[in-house]
Structure 1
Amino acid sequence: MSKTIIVSNRLPIKIKDEGEGYALQPSEGGLATGLASIHAQGENSWIGWPGVSIDDEEQQIFFRSKLKESRLVPIFLSDREIKGFYEGFSNEVLWPIFHYIPPYANYDLTNWEIYTRVNEKFRDVVLEHADPEDTIWIHDYQLLLLPGLLREALPDASIGFFQHIPFPSQELFRLIPWRRELLQGMLGADLLGFHTFDDVRHFISSATRLTATNNNSNRLEVEDRTVFAEPFPMGIDSRRFSALSSDERVLKRVSELKATFKEQKIVLSIDRLDYSKGILQRLEAFELFLQQHPQFHKQVTLYMVVVPSRDTVPQYRELKDQIDRVVGHINGQYGQYDWYPVAYFYHGYPVEEIAALYNAADICLVTPMRDGMNLVSKEYIASRNDENGVLVLSEMAGAAKELIDALIVNPNNIHDISNALFTALNMPPAEMKRRMASMRKIVFKFNVQHWAALFMSRLQEIKNVQSATRARLVGTSIEADIVNRYRNASSRLLLLDYDGTLVGFQDDIDKASPDDELYELLDALEADIHNDLVIISGRKHSTLEKWFQGRPYSLVAEHGVWTKEPGTDWRLKSGLSNAWKEEVSTLMESYADRTPGAFVEEKSFSLAWHYRRVQRDLGALRAHELIDSLRDYSAAYGLQLLDGDKVVEIRSAEVNKGRATLDILHENRYDFILSIGDDRTDEDTFQALPPDAFTIKVGTEVSAAKYYLKQQQDVRRLLRNLVTISQSH
């Protein structure tokens, strides 16, 4: 029976060194809570580092045995591995780059090598526990290489990956010296999950620009696999925080807090010590608020909790010193004998104390400079069963995409934050309740259990899609069927597209001329008296004439405008008009003039706007703009728009490859038909053919074709096999 293996940097437990031994404690983190229901099922297991360095083998054996009872598998790391893998590469390269602070990045080669080795160590342990039919769900930036490493060892495994921090724009990501290796590692997954669509967009941009990966929307074609990248906003255990708000201990602590601050409004700020959290800017904004609104002196207190984190690292130690100085300055400047504007606490608290603070706070101020999701904002909302309180939230937090009824601010704009505080403190109770009720619906519906179930469900859907697609691949059995039908047929039709099918694409369209091998292949197929070979292309008839002059194939040019039978002259389809051409050509040339690398190709009764040599995203953007501009001409002149592979073509609606195919079928009867093509124009051919025809798409995009081949080189291999049959008879 298949199982799910969860893999993360940390196990959902804490091992504490108590001097004479170690003690185990369950983790209260959001990930542990979210994955608890999945981990609890069947024989599912969780692999990760237990959080401490344990070198003693007897202790390691003890913990393996102890954790095995809970289906937890520890990976023990040495002090050097922890320093290079976690403290080094993960937190000195990936963390600052992914949080848009590149000056803090330290590109140390030794740390990269250790990061690679630790990912390989994780792979080895996973392989000890994984079977081919298992599902493996990998988490976060410490294990970016792991999906690719596992894919090499388990090519058919179901692998998911979730990124819990932001993914940066490709301009920032490309700063990392080992960017391609990291992307190739991530692309080993079947499904890549991120908190927001912006993160998805950034990842796809990096993957397509920095590796040989093509995409169609959120689908990436990686070798012979389709990889999906999608947003899955992470939630919290909302029921737990709601229940804590009714806990007697929490209610008692809420009363104590309110008594301490009497009639003052409490503005709550809770963060881990980190330069991405915007703590200094938040303090500056609060000081500005006190300057601008002296009427609120002694009426409001910023209750600021900063949880210690990596304060031995120079940047974090410096940040801590700066926070201490700014808090001291504000309290010294504005404080009075019975009031300090900032109540500052530098330590962690149990969840009951945090829940009490959420319920006592009139405002929760969450203003990170960059954050993957930020669960503090959601915890605050889930805790407010009374539907009171106001959330002030940074637009740079992933949660801002969902919690649109918060007061959304730019964390770099201290005036924006100050104004939001003033608005929050003066918000009418009815508006406050309306906003809070709306956000609570979201937080309770899209909770952490929903997040985990949705991801796993989508991963299964994707594996089903991949399996269905794989069944259509022209593999051994399907190819054997094609060969047998070909061998036994007495009248065969071979309809072959040119660019992307018989030859690979070239940036310069005039350089895609046939090579000697192709001529030999086509000549051999045509030499079989049972074969009718037709090259059906969007190319100009003059180009096909130059390339295939004197050869005994049938040629269809410009999608059916021109046709030529062996030994005859080119024949033009009747009833076509070019009255529209001059006007449309002017428009298309204007788009080419402002798009470096684009050009317009004029054909007999069509115009093609090529953008193969244009910067990737710019080309697609201009193509969509051009298509929108051409729609009016299409309607006015009865033209057809084609959005092809790096080309936009407009032509008479009466002409397409499907109609040209029907003309061929009308003149002859065949007991074997093979059609191969690679782009949207070939779909007309596939749809025009009878059900018993072999229709093959080059590439894995959705198609009307029955079967597909992975790449253009596979077409020639298949045709060579057919030549072998022809020459043996």
Structure 2
Amino acid sequence: MDAFPMGIDYQRFAESSRRPDVVKEIKKIHHPQGQQFIVSVDRLDYTKGILNRLEAYEWFLRQYPEYREKVCLVVVAVPSRTKVDVYNELREQIERIIGHINGEYGSLDWTPVSYLYRSLPFEKLAALYAVADVALITPLRDGMNLVAKEFVACQQDKNNPGVLILSEMAGAASELAEAIVINPYDKESIASALRQALEMPQAERLKRAQMMQERLRRYTVARWAGDFLQSLDLVKTKQHLHGPTPLVGSVQKKLINTYKTAAERLFLLDYDGTLVGFTKQPDDAKPDKTLLQTLRSLNANPHNTVIIISGRDRDTLEQWFGSLNLTLIAEHGAYVRDDSGTWIAQVKPGNEWKEIIRPMLELYVDRTPGSFIEEKTFSLVWHCRKSEPDLATLRTQELKDALMAMTANLQIGVFEGAKIVEVKHIGVNKGQAVLPWVSRQQWPFILAAGDDYTDEDMFAVMPENAITCKIGLGPSRAQYRVSTVEDFRQLLTTLANLKPKSQKQP
């Protein structure tokens, strides 16, 4: 299951203020000097919260009388289900409360609420968005709400960008995090948000608008459709994949026999979640003496080639395994330590994208107590293992969605792992990293093992005779599954203590 926030035709709205027909409509809008416009555009429906919004606006005028004659709420209610009695009753209620507000607070030269009960053509709607100082969008329940996105796209005036006030009950709230997000049932908070929006400094308005616009520009309706169809294809592909077979009993005996008779063997081993369990602090997952001895024994056999391929950085792998003379691959394939002990970069430098992504990760660190950012040479990782589990799950999906929109046109990918979200170069993956060894010769024995999404790239490039092993639960391309880290380590220990039949016994 996944969520696919629908995009808009961003360029159409963003460039609308330069269209002659829209410019003409903007000039028609009567905008008294010193008066600020608050715009509200909805289909007339109970879920849109129009009545609650009007009550909150009246409360605003009552609590902050200094704004009387300085603001105007423009309500556009698009007719809906006009033959249904309850919708006609809703229309009457809306018009009754608008009449009450105008009668109670209006004057001969000021109307607090301007009301339009009709659908507006594009040029009029775009003009209204463009001149609005605030968009007040407060649905009681809404799967997405494209009006919020359309308004943001139209805020191209850098000297006076509008502010978006958005209900937390709208699906778009998870994407438009820079909006002022409110509870649509709380009229006091809506009134307070209106005041905040109207008094917001120009620099803050511009910063909020630009961050939302950049996200919307990247995640257009075309990108949304592409993601949706791609995910459907992925689901179909996964349906054809059989679940890994438990690597126990006779299956494990067959693996051991293959190992014994093989003249040359290749081990491709992930680290975290495969050779050691996860810890709340990444630095606490150091290899213990037993693991180091097992790896040392495996690597001491001249018929074995042992490679550890990890998401860890070079310095950490060097510190932990440098004395074992293993082949080490760091940052999921970004760096390889060759036989001389020299680390060689596998991708070209170029991390300008980090400065684009970092503020979003920092925002989610602020919003998720216990989370933190880890910076690697070619990637940024947001960790939430120490955060409250339910909040971490919610924030992980929100962050992933936001990053997917931001990275649409960049050569980087967004990946969710075990309590992490990682952003890295698309060309960096374990599959590409291990290919030089896999293709070097016809290996009679290959054991590739890992526990998360990064290892799937490695499994995908394995030859048919390779033994691919998923550690733990979850779908995988791997042929086999081992339940726990401890069980897999026991298997490695067993292999390390064996000698192949082809070798002469002393």
TM-score by length of 1: 0.35
**Which residue of structure 2 lines up, in the alignment, with residue 607 of structure 1?**
380
Is 1:618–2:391 an aligned residue pair? Answer: yes
The answer for the alignment partner of 1:595 in structure 2 is: 368
Among 439, 447, 455, which residue is 1:674 paired with? 447
In the TM superposition, what whole-angstrom CA distance separates every residue of 1:489-528 from its partner, at most 9, and x where no partner exists? 1111000000010001101001001110011000000001
Q: Which amino acid in structure 1 is aligned with residue 401 of structure 2?
A: D
Partner of 1:641: 414
Which of 265, 275, 290 in structure 2 is aligned with 1:492? 265
Aligned partners of 1:475, 1:654: CA distance in 2, in Å?
A: 35
Q: Aligned residues, how many?
A: 264
1:695 corresponds to which letter in structure 2? Answer: T
Residue equivalent to 1:719:
492
Cα distance in 1 for residues equivalent to 2:339 and 2:287 = 18
Q: Which amino acid aligns with 2:262?
A: A
| Other-structure match for 1:285 | none
Query: Structure 2 residue aligned with 1:505, among 275, 278, 285?
Result: 278
Asked if the contact 2:333/2:346 (under 8 Å) is kept, the reply is yes
For 1:522 and 1:558, locate their aligned partners in 2 and report how far apart those are by CA, in whole Å. 20
Pairing 1:285-364 to 2, within 5 Å after superposition: none
Consecutive unaligned residues in structure 2, runs of 5 or more = 3-238
Shift of 1:551: 1.8
Task: Specify the alignment match of 1:629 in structure 2.
Answer: 402
How far 1:668 moved relative to its partner? 4.0
Contact 1:576 1:652 in 2 (8 A): no
The CA deviation string for residues 541-568 of structure 1, in whole angstroms up to 9 with x for no partner, is 1111111123210001101000012332
Q: What is the SS of the residue equivalent to 1:550?
A: helix
What's the CA shift for 1:727?
A: 8.3
List gaps (5 residues or longer) in structure 1. 1-215, 218-464
Does structure 1 retain, via aligned residues, the 8 Å contact 2:413–2:425?
yes
Provide the residue aligned with 1:520 in structure 2. 293
5 Å-filtered alignment, 1:237-276, equals: none
Which residue pairs with 2:328 in the alignment? Answer: 555
3-state SS of the aligned residue for 1:726?
coil
Per the alignment, in what secondary structure is the counterpart of residue 514 of structure 1? coil
Give the residue type in structure 2 aligned to 1:579: E
Q: Look up the equivalent residue of 1:592 and give its one-letter code.
A: V
Task: Quote the residue 1:694 is aligned against.
Answer: 467
1:658 aligns with 2:441: no
After TM superposition, give the deviation of residue 630 of structure 1 in Å. 0.7
Give the C-alpha shift of residue 671 in structure 1.
Answer: 1.5
RMSD of the TM alignment (CA)?
Answer: 1.9
* Contact 2:261-2:500 at 8 Å conserved across structures: no
1:708 and 1:700 map into 2 onto residues whose CA distance is 8
Letter in 2 for 1:700: L
What residue identity is the alignment partner of 1:554?
T
Residue of structure 2 in register with 1:477 after alignment: 250
**Secondary structure of the corresponding residue to residue 501 of structure 1:** coil
- 3-state SS in 1 of match to 2:324: coil
- Label 1:567 to 1:684 Cα distance change in 2 as closer, same or farther (>3 A): same
Q: Does 1:684 pair with 2:457?
A: yes
Structure 2: how far apart are the matches of 1:727 and 1:502?
A: 23
The Cα of 1:707 is off from its aligned counterpart by: 0.5
Q: Which has the larger radius of gyration?
A: 1
C-alpha offsets along residues 629-655 of structure 1, whole Å, 9 cap, x if unaligned? 111332221111111011000100011
The answer on 1:533 being equivalent to 2:337 is no
Whether the aligned pair in 1 keeps the contact of 2:262 and 2:500 (CA below 8 Å) is no
Structure 1: which amino acid aligns with 2:363? S
Counterpart AA for 2:436: D
Q: Which among 336, 350, 360 is matched to residue 577 of structure 1? A: 350
Spell out the pairing of 1:160-179 with structure 2 (5 A cutoff).
Answer: none
- Does the aligned pair in 2 maintain the 1:554–1:564 contact within 8 Å? yes
Query: Secondary structure of 2:323's partner?
Result: coil
1:593 CA displacement? 1.4
Indicate which of 301, 315, 327 corresponds to 1:542: 315
Counterpart contact for 2:413–2:423, Cα < 8 Å: yes
Contact 2:270 2:449 in 1 (8 A): yes
Runs ≥4 in structure 1, deviation > 4 angstroms?
none
Letter in 2 for 1:723: A
Question: Which residue of the partner structure matches residue 481 of structure 2?
Answer: 708
**1: CA distance, partners of 2:355 / 2:317:** 25
Q: Distance in 2 between matches of 1:498 and 1:588?
A: 25
- Contact 1:633–1:639 under 8 Å retained in 2: no
Q: Is residue 260–residue 500 contact of structure 2 (8 Å, CA) maintained in 1?
A: no
Q: Is the 8 A contact 1:562 1:570 kept in 2?
A: yes
Give the 3-state SS of the residue equivalent to 1:637 in structure 2: coil
Instruction: Give the match for residue 216 of structure 2.
Output: none
Tell me how far apart the structure 2 counterparts of residues 575 and 700 of structure 1 sit (CA, whole Å).
35
Query: Are 1:551 and 1:566, in contact at CA under 8 Å, matched by a contact in 2?
Result: no
- With the length of structure 2 as denominator, give the TM-score of the two structures: 0.50
Shift in Å, 1:574: 3.4
Q: What SS does the corresponding residue of 2:363 show, helix, strand or coil?
A: helix
1:105 match: none
Work out which structure has the larger RCO, using CA pairs closer than 8 Å and 6 or more positions apart in sequence: 2
Secondary structure in 2 aligned to 1:716?
helix
The SS at the match of 2:439 is helix
Contact 1:552 1:567 in 2 (8 A): no
